[in-house]
Structure formats: structure tokens, C-alpha cells
Amino acid sequence: MPGPLDGVLVVDLTRALAGPHAAMMLGDLGARVIKVENPGSGDDTRGWGPPFVQPEGRPEPGDRESTYFLSTNKNKESITLDLKDEADKATLTELLRRADVLMENFRPGTLARLGFGTDVLAELNPRLVTLAISGFGHDGPEGGRAGYDQIAQGEAGLMSLTGPGPDDPQRVGVPIGDLLAGMYGAYGVLAALMERERTGRGQVVRTSLLAAIVGVHAFQGTAWTVAGKVGRAQGNHHPSIAPYGLFHCKGGSVQLSCGSESLWRKLCAEFGLDPEAPGLATNGERVDRREEVIALLEGAFADTAPEDLLARLAAAGIPAGKVRTIDEVYGWDQTQSQGLLVDVDHATLGRLQLPGPPLRFFAPGPDGETETTRREHAAPPVLGADGDAIRAWLDGSSS
């Protein structure tokens, strides 16, 4: 299946992670994504590593591929353009005349200085939807700041909520600000494309790393805005639910969640505990006495190995799980059953497995559902791999 965005043309001027992730999301859904890169060096992430991988029999450093780049650029074509060169700017202009979506994550004002401000784009292609991602917003007192994920995680409060305690703030283990900005950006683009169906005109969608992280503050946000409580990092236990977190047992640990009083009672019944013990009968009481709850449960689990403990929790109907390493996740049959690994043929590296898109699609029918999820995916392109074909298409010499 070609995907629900088949026929949508995306011009991707972004680099690093937030913008490329947004563009890949649309490519995964079937859009044609043309990635515009700097001649010679390409996207910054082509040089980010290790780890790098080398084509077999080609040991030169210039032949290596960055696994970072591979993570966020599948289902794209690559053309190299120098946006300070008039001929290359003319090529970009022709691409934009035909595009449905333009994505950029330059510092605010850069695209206008290159001759492609919003007024120019609107005249060039009134139906164009533009996504612009910045670090801290396109206006406001700090709108011009450069945005890097870890800095944004700190500035947007996420690091203060992450880590073993309030005195040891930690970043999330992936560039979550970049990824969230890309996800919000793709979501905004789809909304703008829907609105274009009614109005016939495109518009500019703007988001930032700051906005994306604040957008997922969830209960930590309203704890402050409504109740005046400042959340702090407290390790692997939930600030508003108990027991909910990681618990040590014999030779390891498990995670469990009692998100309701009925689950608390089931847990206590399984391990011979009193659910109505003084100070532990309600969630609010248990949150106030979290350390006591943790000690109580870890004492009950002390003689049980992780796999046996998980089996008992499952039999009792308690949501629980293990902490898997990355290799264990990709080797897990449940991960594989969800289409979260895809096979692609790379131009220099050959057959690869990449993380797959997180969405699946199904068409209902009289005999049940038929999966319509896109099955075939293109490997991330080598630098400039599609330039000649794209130019021939723009010149009308190729369909």
C-alpha cells in the first residue's frame, strides 16, 4: 500500500533531528519527501557518531554512514543545493512551486535572508504549507536563540523532573525535545493540509523545542498552574500514584503499577499484605508514605526472582513489566509483531533493518479488518543520490 499521504510532495530543508524526524513521519505515511542538503557535507548528522558503519570493502572514512543519520531519514530522496547559488536557488524555487509542504528549521529569519520569506513563498505557491521549527519560538524576548535538545530539556523544565532526585537533574536518554518538536510539527502540518481542503490556501505552522516539551508537562504542568506545587525529580516512582514504579527483588527488579484501589487490594492479596493497614488504605495516604510502601513491597518481593515475580503479578492481574535493554526490545517478538522493524536496501550498506513507523492502518469490511499499512520502505539516501533524477523531473524530461 502506498500510504495515506501518497501524492503529497514534501520539500525538506531541515537538518539534525527535529525537522528530519517530522519529514520522515510524513514519508513513512507515503508522502514523497525530497531532502535538500548542503553540497559536500550534507545534513549535520551524517557526521555524528560513533557508531558509524562502513560498506564492505570500502575502508575510507568518507564511505562510512552514520547510524544517527540512518535513524531519521528513511523514505526520502536527496538532492544537494547551495542556497547562495542562483542556479540552485532556481531549482529550489521550482521544487517549491510543486510542493505541498516545506519544512525548515533554520534560525528565525534565515530563510527570509535567503530570499524565501513567507511573503515570497505565499506568492510562489499559495497552497504551500510551511513547517518552521525553532529552539525557543520565532518571536518573544529569546526568539532568536539556537536550539539544542539538551539545553531545551533543561530550559523547559524536563531535566528538573528527571533523575534520582532534585539535586541530580538528568536528561532523557534520547533527544526527546527534538523528537517531540518533530511529532508536533508533523501533526500541525496534517492539520494545515486538512484546512487547505476547505480554504484552498496553505499557511505557516510553527513550533519549537520549548513548546514541544512544555506541551508534554501534563500533570506536572497543572500541579503548578492550578495547585502551585513545583514537581521535582524523584527517581523511578510516580509522584501522584503509589505503588507505581521500579521495585527490587531477588537478583533484579520489576516495574508495577497500581493505578486503582482494586489493583492495590489484588496486590496485597497476592502477597499476604493488609490493604487497609493504617496510613496505606488510600492512594493519597500511600503517596504521602511512599518510602514505607516501597520498603513493604520490596520486603515481600525479596525472595522472588524477577521472572517468577512477573508471573505472579500477571496471574494476579497487576500491570507489571521488566526493564529491557535496547537489543532485548528489538529481539522481542511483540516488538516485531507490531511492524516496528523494517527491512530496507541501502545503496552502499546493502540490506538493513531499521526501526519502523509507529502507526498501523486497517480498513474495516464485512469480513473483518484488512491491514493497509505501508509495507515497503526506502533506505535513507546517500548524499545527493537523487539529484539528477529530481532535476530531470523538474525539467520535464522525466515523468
Write out the catalytic residue numbers: 178
Cell match 522493524: residue? 341
The whole-angstrom separation of Cα 237 and Cα 257 is 10
Percentages helix, strand, coil for the chain (3-state, rounded to 5) are 40, 15, 45
Residues sharing a CB contact under 8 Å with residue 285, sequence separation 6 or more, in sequence order? 279
* Cβ–Cβ under 8 Å, residues 172 and 209: no
Candidates 261, 222, 263; CA nearest to 239 is 222
Indicate the Cα dihedral angle 18, 20, 21, 25, nearest 10°: 140
Cell match 533554520: residue? 106
The whole-angstrom separation of Cα 267 and Cα 40 is 60
Q: What is the DSSP-derived secondary structure letter of residue 44?
A: G
The whole-angstrom separation of Cα 322 and Cα 310 is 8
Candidates 80, 65, 94, 97; CA nearest to 15 is 80
The whole-angstrom separation of Cα 309 and Cα 256 is 10
Cell match 489493583: residue? 263
Cell match 562502513: residue? 54
Residues sharing a CB contact under 8 Å with residue 397, sequence separation 6 or more, in sequence order? none
Q: Rounded to whole angstroms, what are the CA distances from 1 to 75, 296, 351?
A: 14, 53, 21
* DSSP string of 157-210, one letter each residue: TTGGGSSSSTTS----SS-HHHHHHHHHHHHHHHHHHHHHHHHS---EEEEEHH
Q: Rounded to whole angstroms, what are the CA distances from 165 to 48, 71, 114, 204?
A: 31, 31, 46, 40
